[in-house]
Structures are given as C-alpha cells and as structure tokens.
C-alpha cells in the first residue's frame, strides 16, 4: 500500500517533484498545498490544489506525508519547522535515474533529481535539494536546507553548511568547506574555503558581498 503524500508548492519545482514521485511509485499524491489563494481549487498537472497551510490543521490530512516543493532554502526551513510542530512527517523523493552509493545517508524531506550522482561516504542532511545532473563525490557533508543547483559539481570531502546554495554549473574542488547561509554563483569555480553568510562568484570564486540574510 502506498503512502499518501501532499506536495507543498504548486510551482515549476513542484512539477519536477511530481515526475519523481510518480516514477518512484512509493507514494500516492493526494494533492497540492499552496498559500496563493488565487490558485486554490485549481488543477495542477492533474492534481488538485487543495488549499493553504491552514488546511493542514484539519485531521483529514494527518495521515499524509509531505514534500516541500520550495526552492528558497530559508522559506523551506521555516515551513519545515511549522509542519513538524503539527506532527507531519516529511518524505524523501529520489529519482530512479539518480546514482547513489549504498552507504550514503539522506535526511528526511530531501529531494534528489534526475541523473544526479552521490558517491560513497557522503552524508546529506534534511530538506536538501540535489538538482538535475548534480554530482557529489565521496565523503562530502551536505547540511540541512542546502540546494545544489542543476549541474553543480562537488569533488571529494567537500562540506556545505546549512542553508547554502550552490549555483547552476558551479564546481567545488576537493576538501573545500563552504559555510552556512552562503551563495555560490552560477558557473563559479570554488578553490578555497568560503565563510558563512557571503555571496561568492567568479573563476576562481571570490567573495563579492555579504549575504543579505546573513546572521
């Protein structure tokens, strides 16, 4: 029997998660939750947008797991806390075409998309997005609420702190640490450690400013 599943966020990201969930065939999608009242009651890719956050207080849906289809790391973290306070369990979604070593650990709520590769010894936190075609080599540590964008590549023994975002096509050499709540720009080449709460870009990547949401 399949687990019942709600997807939070009727967005482009949500469309990709639909595809993953349908291909995995482990969950039955009950519908979508979205806080945009103009969308509520509409059809989204064959599933109903049932309502907003307040709907989750109703006992009707307490037997459902949730996946957050929200790209913004901080919004995802805040919403995750609220859902856990209501007693909801967050499900993982892992595309069948991804290649994941047998000893990789993956936290709840994490989504791994098509053609991603995660190699041996890597630890991935909760509510992480490993996007399309991203690669994470051996013994990396990926903190909670991180987003590795499409085509992002991490060499071995890389650490990425909570809430950080690796931009599309960015590369990180081996044994580099990226702090918490930092952003690595698209196409960047990271060859040295990056601290907390900064934006870094370029080849090689250099800090260009403090992150506006920094501590």
Residues annotated as part of the active site: 138
Residues 215 and 196 sit within 8 Å (Cβ to Cβ)? yes
Cα angle 118, 120, 125; round to 5: 60
Facing residues of 129 across strands?
111, 147
DSSP state of 60: G
- Is residue 185 left, alpha or beta, with left meaning phi > 0 and alpha meaning psi from -120 to 50? beta
State how far the Cα of 9 lies from the Cα of 191, in Å rounded to an integer: 35
* Spatial CB neighbours of 47, under 8 Å, sequence gap ≥ 6: 7, 18, 29, 31, 32
Which of 95, 134, 147, 99 is closest to 119 using CA atoms?
A: 99
Bond preceding residue 89 cis, omega within 30 of 0? no
């Amino acid at each position: 029997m399949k687990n019942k599943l709600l997807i939070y966020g009727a967005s482009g990201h949500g469309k990709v998660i639909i595809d993953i969930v349908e291909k995995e065939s482990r969950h039955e999608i009950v519908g979508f939750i979205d806080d945009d009242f103009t969308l509520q009651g509409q059809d989204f890719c064959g599933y109903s947008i049932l309502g907003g956050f307040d709907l989750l207080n109703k006992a009707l849906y307490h037997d459902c797991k949730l996946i957050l289809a929200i790209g913004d790391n901080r919004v995802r973290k805040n919403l995750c806390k609220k859902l856990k306070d209501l007693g909801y369990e967050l499900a993982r979604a892992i595309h069948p075409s991804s290649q994941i070593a047998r000893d990789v650990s993956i936290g709840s709520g994490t989504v791994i998309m098509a053609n991603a590769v995660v190699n041996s010894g890597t630890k991935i936190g909760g509510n992480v997005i490993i996007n399309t075609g991203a690669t994470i080599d051996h013994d990396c540590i990926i903190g909670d609420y991180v987003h590795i964008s499409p085509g992002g590549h991490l060499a071995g023994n890389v650490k990425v702190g909570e809430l950080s975002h690796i931009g599309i096509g960015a590369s990180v050499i081996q044994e580099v640490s990226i702090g918490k709540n930092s952003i690595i720009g698209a196409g960047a080449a990271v060859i040295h450690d990056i601290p907390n709460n900064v934006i870094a870009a370029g080849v090689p990547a250099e800090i260009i400013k403090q992150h506006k949401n920094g501590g």
